[in-house]
Amino acid sequence: MKLIVLMVAAATAVAGAPPAARADEPVAAASAGDEAALHLEWMDRSVDPLQDFYRYANGGFMRANPIPPAYSAWGAAQILDQKNQDYIRELLQSAAANAAAARGSDEQKIGDFYASGMDEAGVEKAGIAPLRDEFKRIAALRRSSKLTAELARLQHIGVDAAFGIGQMQDYADSTRVIAVVEQGGLGLPDRDYYLKDDPKYAAIRKAYEEHIARMLVLLGEAQSRVSSAAAGVMALETRLAAASMPVEDQRNPHAIYNMRELAALAHEAPAIDWRRYLKASGVPQVTRLNLAMPKFFAALSHEMQSTPIAVWRDYLRWQLAHRYAAYLPDAYVQENFRLAQAVRGTKELLPRWRRVLRAEDGAIGFAVGHEYVKHHFPPEARAQVLEILHGIRAALRDDLKALPWMSEATRARALEKLALMEERIGYPDSWRDYSRLEIDRGPYVLNVLRANAFDDTRELAKIGKPLDRSEWGMVPQTINAYYGRSMNNINFPAGILQPPYFDPTVPAAFNYGAIGSIIGHEITHGFDDHGSQFDGHGNLENWWSKEDSDKFQAGVGCIAEQFSGYTVDGDMHLKGRLVTGESIADLGGLLLALRAYHASPGYAAAQDIGGFTPEQQFFLGFAHAWGENVRPEQARMWAAADPHPPNDDRVNGTLTNVAQFAEAFGGTSAAGRCVIW
Ligand SMILES: [Zn+2]
């Protein structure tokens, strides 16, 4: 019933009804719509909101939305993503059906990529042949000295061969773009999967090694040697894992910023012929780079000299197959899926079209996004989101001005950083140029391969050139947002500006609670444990006085300890130091959104809805954005390597530190809260 009211309103808006027609709508219809925004059916009011607000707000939703077999987690984000994909599918299908699209145009590429991916018979018929040259080169490797060039080639086409090269803004001078090499080469999600003495990890290790063996069989390896080959690959990856820097240590920007001249590289990692490597990677002019993880590269160099070349051949074949299996015939796709089952707990493959669509988003996502926003991002949405955003910026400005513990010198730098923070909503001003990327009707796997190579070339071409500030790190259809640390910008793709994150038709409380707290989250990243080490121009610079920094660090330590206490899948603790930045951003974001809501015209006009006060509505809007079910395997994977805490902790853990929440639901403010801002 309530849904129908909303749908009629939406249809009227699309038909372009004059404003007068809306003013005539009976008041009762509007408040029914408001009540629908509460989503009473998502709640579980048998739960005490002060004990477990996440379940209080989302218990009904979680019961009504079990995880579909093809997913490892299912909630508001995934449901919206699925709807988004349904919509994008139509764009891709119509592009594919348009035989008149000009050769080389984005429309031709969008259509051909999709058509090549959906051409299952063509994929089966082509078999592994499109990758024959890649496998041949690996098979011909006879000497360790030839490894350097082969690693560069495989990395160029997107294979995670031992390590990776890329570009970054120089931490010391953010206007400069430098080369960076980083650890990599692991087929499992994190080093813990290789190293932890834990029965669940051990089971995954066993499944992984068996999977490598079966993949080698598919590639034509003799049965008699696949087990030993897989064991050799596993042992090599395990040694690389042991030398890898843990994810939580990578959050220290000083630890991953180690500028080196070529001479020093030759000393620290002599088995890599650096000059040849950089030439093969298309950047022969580079003479200085950031060796992000020195210990890893020293160990890798040792492995390149001491591990038999036959093991390296197996490893590289495996990594190549691993990277491309999803775009090969069904036997590879199924085998690839078996690993996903073990690692993420997924029960079924996604429908083919959803897999192709995801691949296409990765390959030519800005071309797809360009079409998407033409039809899917009304200017009114942008204006309303901007209004919320500006309210939140103002709230932080006021907060920084009033913070009692901060010295004037630090305060001035913080305000400067906020003033310099650039805001970007929806999509880029200029669109990515794909004219040098060839996409055709197949083989599918070669479309993916060329797109990877194109992207690598495009990225590395930035090194040594003036910084281009116009690029986005997410395609417009993405249901997510980010803070660019070196750019000092906040970015909200069109994809996330939809319900349940943002809905222009609901009372302000829900929008401030949901998209408002997300906007506040991204802004706060500029001032979290990590972002606060960078200045307003994106340079790694300590702009804090010692005393202010100590006070801030005490808050950071409080958050790290709080979140270390949370567990997933029964016994696995979160890595407090890994999730600190996201947790600080959640807390800061929610407080800023609440402050901005209180200062907004929407709050001045707010009423109780269904017995809930405006503040209660705000907190419900916040919690509703995060409702989801997660498979235990997926929960463990995220806890191992993802800087975001699980959604229930993002809600309950954050609210523990918010006095206004307890007050809104009739509780008393408990002592021992963590205070950051
Ligand atoms: Zn974040």
DSSP assignment letter at 180 = E
Average pLDDT for residues 647-664, to the nearest whole number?
96
Q: Give the whole-number percent of the chain exceeding pLDDT 70.
A: 95
- Residue 3 pLDDT: 25
What sign results for the dihedral spanned by CA atoms 374, 375, 381, 383?
Answer: positive
Cα(635)–Cα(644) distance, rounded to whole angstroms?
11
- Residue 52 pLDDT: 97
What separation in Å is there between the alpha carbon of 298 and the centre of ligand 1?
32
What separation in Å is there between the alpha carbon of 388 and the centre of ligand 1?
18
What separation in Å is there between the alpha carbon of 243 and the centre of ligand 1?
28
What separation in Å is there between the alpha carbon of 570 and the centre of ligand 1?
25
612: three-class secondary structure by DSSP = strand
What separation in Å is there between the alpha carbon of 508 and the centre of ligand 1?
23
What separation in Å is there between the alpha carbon of 361 and the centre of ligand 1?
22
- Residue 672 pLDDT: 61
DSSP assignment letter at 47 = S
pLDDT of 677 over the 80 cut: no
What sign results for the dihedral spanned by CA atoms 40, 44, 45, 51?
Answer: negative
Higher-confidence residue of 1 and 85: namely: 85
Average pLDDT for residues 357-379, to the nearest whole number?
93
Closest CA to 509 of 61, 37, 45: 37
Distance set, CA 79 to CA 354, 510, 624 (Å): 13, 18, 13
What separation in Å is there between the alpha carbon of 585 and the centre of ligand 1?
6
What separation in Å is there between the alpha carbon of 650 and the centre of ligand 1?
11
Name the CATH superfamily, with its identifier, for domain 144-327: Neutral endopeptidase , domain2 (1.10.1380.10)
68: three-class secondary structure by DSSP = coil
What separation in Å is there between the alpha carbon of 659 and the centre of ligand 1?
22
pLDDT tens column, 522-555: 999 999 999 999 999 999 999 999 999 999 999 9
What separation in Å is there between the alpha carbon of 400 and the centre of ligand 1?
20
- Residue 375 pLDDT: 84
Distance set, CA 84 to CA 92, 111, 354, 357, 554 (Å): 12, 18, 11, 11, 42
pLDDT of 565 over the 60 cut: yes
Cα(343)–Cα(598) distance, rounded to whole angstroms?
44
Residues 6+ apart with CB under 8 A from 21: 12
What separation in Å is there between the alpha carbon of 416 and the centre of ligand 1?
21
* Category of 274 on φ-ψ map: left (φ > 0), alpha (ψ -120 to 50) or beta: alpha
DSSP assignment letter at 52 = -
Name the CATH superfamily, with its identifier, for domain 384-423+497-664: Collagenase (Catalytic Domain) (3.40.390.10)
- Residue 361 pLDDT: 97
Q: What pTM, to 2 d.p., does this model score?
A: 0.93
- Residue 670 pLDDT: 62
What separation in Å is there between the alpha carbon of 642 and the centre of ligand 1?
11
Q: Give the whole-number percent of the chain exceeding pLDDT 90.
A: 92
What separation in Å is there between the alpha carbon of 560 and the centre of ligand 1?
15
**Bridge partner residues of 492 (DSSP):** 425
pLDDT band at 27 (very low <50, low <70, confident <90, very high): very low
pLDDT of 18 over the 70 cut: no
Mean pLDDT of the chain: 93
What separation in Å is there between the alpha carbon of 49 and the centre of ligand 1?
25
pLDDT tens column, 126-176: 999 999 999 999 999 999 999 999 999 999 999 999 999 999 999 999 999
- Residue 669 pLDDT: 67
pLDDT band at 668 (very low <50, low <70, confident <90, very high): confident
What separation in Å is there between the alpha carbon of 496 and the centre of ligand 1?
14
Average pLDDT for residues 392-414, to the nearest whole number?
95
- Residue ranges covered by each domain of the chain: 144-327, 384-423+497-664
pLDDT band at 274 (very low <50, low <70, confident <90, very high): very high
**Bridge partner residues of 629 (DSSP):** 74
What separation in Å is there between the alpha carbon of 445 and the centre of ligand 1?
33
- Residue 33 pLDDT: 75
pLDDT band at 671 (very low <50, low <70, confident <90, very high): low
What separation in Å is there between the alpha carbon of 582 and the centre of ligand 1?
5
Burial class (CB in 10 A: 0-12, 13-18, 19+), 656: middle
Sole residue written with tokens 């596993």: 234
pLDDT of 1 over the 50 cut: no
